[in-house]
Amino acid sequence: MRFVRIPQFLKKLFPSLTWDYNTGEKVVYITFDDGPIPESTAWTLELLRSKNVKATFFCVGDNVRKYPEIYQGILNEGHAVGNHTHNHLRGFTNQTQSYVDNVKLASQYIASKLFRPPYGMIKRSQAKELLKDYKIIMWDVLSEDYRQDITPEECYHAVLKSIRPGSIILFHNHVKSEKNMRYALPRLIDELRNRGFEFCVCT
């Protein structure tokens, strides 16, 4: 089943998580998961710089360890960062304490009180523990840029028609997402700006 726009019942199941921002203003929040990696993050930063857009990067701790200069580039450009665990763990298949410990390990490399669970999967017990120290940022528009069975054009239009004021949009800094992301992202930024939207970072 495809969910580009996250259904309301998921938001009601986890009301303590942030799925969007109800500002009432034409603002959107572009986010990227899984970086930093050389193949994708550098291109993303260059594009955002050229478009004068700030975004939020939910980083994997081990990737920050391996590519600290790219992570520093994210910070230097004025973007926000968040914790995405150290080893990109699935919440459903890990015990609560080991999951929380992995987030804490990532925090040695990522100075942020924002957290996003990989795959969007998190147990209530894990969320309860992490909410003591973090704001958990989900999303309401999933780009599905990682899918190999959709065209870049389909990716772009699916995201565009799903966006509302206050939407949090999820893209990925991942090799398998590059084709769709590189096509959709610049066009999306231009079209949203033409429609009067502004771009902000998650807080």
- Active-site annotation, residues: 33, 172
Closest to 32 (Cα-Cα) out of 184, 167, 181: 181
Nearest to 129 by CA among 87, 78, 95, 163: 95
Taking a C-beta distance cutoff of 8 angstroms, is the pair 175, 37 a contact? yes
The per-residue b/e assignment along 149-173, b for 16 or more CB within 10 angstroms, e otherwise, is eeeeeebbebbbebbebbbbbbbbb
Q: How far does Cα 177 stand from its chain's mean position?
A: 13
CB atoms within 10 A of CB 8: 10
What single letter denotes the amino acid at residue 137?
I
In 6-164 the beta strands, taken as DSSP E runs, fall at 27-33, 56-59, 80-83, 114-115, 135-136, 141-142
Residues 6+ apart with CB under 8 A from 48: 54, 55, 77, 79
Cβ–Cβ under 8 Å, residues 78 and 45: no
